Amino acid sequence: MIDLALKNVSKRFGGLLAVDKLDVEVPKGKILSLIGPNGAGKTTVFNMITGVYPPSEGTISYQGKKLNNLRSNRIIRHGIARTFQNIRLFKSMTVLENVQVGMHCRTKSGAFRALLNTPFAIREEKEIIEKSMETLEFLGLADHHNEYASNLAYGDQRRLEIARAVATRPEMLLLDEPAAGMNPSETAELMDLILKLRDTGLTIFLVEHDMRLVMGISEMVVVLDHGHKIAQGEPKEIQQNEKVIEAYLGTKVKAKA
């Protein structure tokens, strides 16, 4: 079953064609990685999926529903959450409060009930705290729940950003370079975490430069170069693909004698 489908999707910025007629299908409950050299158009793809800006051409659909021109908050409600290349935490808030922010996109109380502090709003807020703590426990951050986000180690800040995305209760999680800036030990822990999230039923769509991570956890890999899809397949196929090697190294692979 296909969760997310991009059909003939292009994005132009003035005279620059950032993504050109891209076709990608992300299977439900799988890990698919989108890779390519810097400037290949990877984050542009994520930005189109999550409503940062619309595609110039083509169709983006999730579970059969068209996402074109929907705002980001509507896309979150459809069940898609994401993280960013640059960490975007509320650093003056605690770890718990950051996760609660994610939970609040699913609240039903509304501003009026919250303002009056009605029994329903009080009950719902208590549930949000409990579920936020459960999320932190799952991601190994429960012991830090009262710390300010700014005081966390870098790897834990990355983990917290994932926790906040998971708090929106998505069915698909888009991770934009989650291993950026991590040391090998942190990257290994991140790999385990992504697999753990996948095992809960989440579909994972990943953009990443760390090839050890990509090849270690992906079930399918799509490769972009200058906005064009140049390869798609299982990790072993991609590692041996001459077009991919040329895109990364800038030289053609010499035929073996």
Residue range 37-65, pLDDT digits in tens:
988 999 999 999 999 999 999 999 999 99
* pTM of the complete model: 0.87
196 part of a folded domain? no
- CA distances (Å), 99 to each of 49, 93, 109, 120, in order? 23, 10, 18, 21
CA angle 78, 51, 96 (to 5 degrees): 65
Question: pLDDT digit string (tens) for 141-158?
Answer: 999 999 999 999 999 999
Closest CA to 250 of 37, 1, 8: 37
In this structure, the answer to whether residues 11 and 72 fall within a common structural domain is yes
- Give alpha helix (H) positions in 84-233: 95-103, 110-116, 119-138, 154-166, 184-199, 211-217
In this prediction, residues 69-80 reach a mean pLDDT of 91
What is the domain range of residue 151? 91-167
**Residue 7 pLDDT > 60:** yes
Decide if 208 is inside a domain.
no
**Into how many domains does the chain fold?**
2
CA atoms of 21 and 206, how far apart (whole Å): 20
Residues 64 and 96 in one domain: no
Residue position matching structure tokens 């542009």: 44
In a domain, 52, yes or no: yes
